[in-house]
Amino acid sequence: MNEKLRVGILGATGMVGQRFISLLENHPWFEVTTVAASPRSAGKTYEEAVGGRWKMTTPMPEAVKKLVVMNVNEVEKVAAGVDFVFSAVDMTKDEIRAIEEEYAKTETPVVSNNSAHRWTPDVPMVIPEINPEHFKVIEFQKKRLGTTRGFVAVKPNCSIQSYAPALAAWKEFEPYEVVATTYQAISGAGKTFKDWPEMVENIIPYIGGEEEKSEQEPLRILGELKDGVIVKAQEPVITCQCIRVPVLNGHTAAVFVKFRKKPTKEQLIEKLVNFSGLPQELHLPSAPKQFIQYMEEDNRPQVKADVDYEKGMGVSIGRLREDTVYDYKFVGLSHNTVRGAAGGAVLCAECLKALGYIDRKSNTPL
């Protein structure tokens, strides 16, 4: 590509917005040209607006420091200078739904990290290796919105990335019942230990709304496009508990599965390590070469050792063994703010670009 696509980040000063900015530094296809946030940050440079709240381990990219933060509510103004936007705004669900559709109606594609549109029937919710065919629902969404180029696409919840890929890899064995417990990092709440000291040496057995998402969202990903909407799969039936643990990055899941067609352990491992999809086929810039790694050691995957597998875009599975009540059990690990948040959205945008849904916006007036 000769010219990079111009990207806006909505909610650029928050933790996920910061992760977008760090991941897009030196991206071969995309360049952050616009940052937008709440009115209280508007008018300041990005560096001033973030101040001491930069939460990434890598330094703030020089290219964004002097960008002047725009007011995210000034939709036409923000949209005028970009080819598409990533959304990580911090608002109520109703406000998010409204503002994301407002951006789409300016003929600006929106790739969202937020949960507000995950159950909108004509909005695709995609893990690109698993269900990129759901992007086809965008054509129906455009008709509803009255747009030719603008749409909303979303990535799913961070907690499901550690086990939904395994269920997708094992689809032919017909998993029909799943019990999962997730052990979720504090960055999933936009926090570090510095600003959440009560999480040190502590576990909180509740994360608002997370269990419902963890039980239902995999079914939408495994569902199908019918009559212009995504219809969720009926199986597997999933029950989940979500626990906040004193870890900075990385969601771990302990999972039990029943299969209709009982596979061998060797068959399950073979399906995991050979599982790949459109991002690998197209060699997309953010795609992990190997999406899922299987770890033989009894004490892996571990957050400290494995969370950055494939630059945080891969999933690590281990401890797969037969169970006395269920057929098999395993442990999964994924990086919640890379694959589970901004990185997953960047990979969706790369897919959308490769499939022709995102391109350069013409300079003619809308």
Q: Which residues are catalytic?
A: 158, 251
Kindly give the interhelix angle for 93-105 and 138-145, rounded to the nearest 10 degrees: 90
Please tell me the distance from the alpha carbon of residue 323 to that of residue 330, in angstroms, as a whole number: 10
Instruction: Confirm if 195 and 215 have CB atoms less than 8 A apart.
Output: no
Looking up tokens 């790949």, which residue turns up?
276
Give the three-state DSSP class for 226: strand
Please tell me the distance from the alpha carbon of residue 209 to that of residue 128, in angstroms, as a whole number: 24
Q: Which of 98, 110, 91, 106 is nearest to 8 (CA)?
A: 110
* CA 91, chain centre distance (Å): 18
- Both tokens assigned to 241: 């508990």
Instruction: Confirm if 261 and 174 have CB atoms less than 8 A apart.
Output: yes
H-assigned helices in the chain: 15-24, 46-50, 62-65, 75-80, 93-105, 138-145, 164-169, 210-221, 265-273, 278-281, 303-306, 343-354
Give the three-state DSSP class for 54: coil
* CA 263, chain centre distance (Å): 30
